[in-house]
Amino acid sequence: MDILPAVVGIVVVVLGILVSIALHEVGHMVPAKKFGVRVSEYMVGFGPTLWSRRKGETEYGLKAIPLGGYVRLVGMMPPAPAGTRPRDGFFSRIVADARDASVSEIRPGEEHRAFYQLSTPKKLVVMLGGPVMNLVIAVVLLAVVFLGIGMPAATTTVESVGDDSAAASAGMLPGDEVVSFDGAPVEEWTQLVGMVNDRAGETVEMVVERDGEQVALEVTPTPAERPLTDDQGYAVTDDAGEPVMIDGALLGVTSEVERQPLPVSTVPEAVWLQVSGTAEAIVTLPVRVYDAAYQAFTDEPRSQDSVMSVVGVGRAAVDTAGADDYTVIARVQLMLMLLASLNIALFMFNLIPLLPLDGGHVVNALYEGAKRTVARVRGAERPGPADVARMMPVAYVVFVLLIGVGAVLMVADVVDPVRLF
């Protein structure tokens, strides 16, 4: 593999991840500021700060490790409920420290600007803003791929004619555009393939357009086994990955292929396919992580649908950029689809209902809203904000598990990466 495509692939995936993270945090920050919450920091990455600049009351910066980001919303956790007694124990100290740290960020006279003071709908808008931003990015990228660039599709124009083929015997030439077959108009190449399959060994009139004139030809399709194709013209394969063969007929020609935009409905279909696939991967994540580790350290080959870390995504980008059998536009298309899949993964993963993920904050907001609704229906006193700090021990455990899973997958992606080609 040439060095330049590999470098380009790495640069593209790193920039794609950084932009996706940055826009995810924008999805949190913009509604938070709109609702009056003070945002003290907006950072892309973790670890040491490489660059930062303060604008207004917010410090914007870039950190050394591009594996995430955060916006610091002041007052994420409310103070301890009245009458709460200090408790001993490791987890109790974690809860108390989290409350103290959150309260200490609130400047005197700005208690009303704390995040915990927001209503439930506003909290949901802020916390869902990040994942929804990733979903929007994925939709835009897939729209560019399917509607802007388009997908390769066979046209009704002949590209080549095989020697001693039925088409050659009939006088067909490269550049001929098939108009009709046995009197039936031909609008798509897959349609012509089906017509030819049904007329094996029969002499049929086929009309082509050549140099602006229509020419009638007599052609006798040659009986032959041929691959079964789907509605898009792609070969159908069996469980072993081999093409499914059927009885049919051949003209002995190939068609010109050009990129054509797909219907708008293709985009939501592709998004749903990836969302449902990612949801299944998340539900079965423990098993998939085990399979990835097992395949990496045994002779069993790594499956193409294996879960990957950011290292695996980078390796996939390098493979895509250096794929010699693909045109530049095809490689760009594959890269955009890879980034779209990454953003779908960020969207779904952040919706897991556990702290410190966005889904954990969403669940807490819904719990708080449900308590207040029940109290209002019963005519009881309005409950205070949900005591999110009590879930900090869970957040620490989840964080450690995520680090462990990420480390296992990174090692697997180095030892035995997923091969796309």
Instruction: Give the catalytic positions in this structure.
Output: 25
Whether 271 and 347 have beta carbons less than 8 Å apart is answered as no
Whether 338 and 320 have beta carbons less than 8 Å apart is answered as yes
Whether 81 and 387 have beta carbons less than 8 Å apart is answered as yes
Whether 205 and 174 have beta carbons less than 8 Å apart is answered as no
Distance separating alpha carbons of residues 365 and 390, to the nearest angstrom: 14
Give how far Cα 408 sits from Cα of 293, 341, 342, Å.
Answer: 7, 21, 19
Residues ≥6 apart with Cβ < 8 Å to 118: 35, 37, 126
Whether 27 and 137 have beta carbons less than 8 Å apart is answered as no
CA torsion through residues 179, 185, 187, 189, sign:
negative
Q: Interhelix angle for 358-378 vs 392-415, to 10°?
A: 150
Give how far Cα 274 sits from Cα of 81, 198, 281, 342, Å.
Answer: 43, 37, 10, 10
* Neighbour-count burial for 337-357, b at 16+ CB within 10 Å, e otherwise: bbbbbbbbbbbbbbbbebbbb
Residues ≥6 apart with Cβ < 8 Å to 156: 177, 178, 179, 186, 187, 188, 189, 192, 255
Whether 68 and 46 have beta carbons less than 8 Å apart is answered as yes
Whether 48 and 66 have beta carbons less than 8 Å apart is answered as no
| Calculated CA dihedral for residues 194, 195, 201, 204, nearest 10 degrees | -160
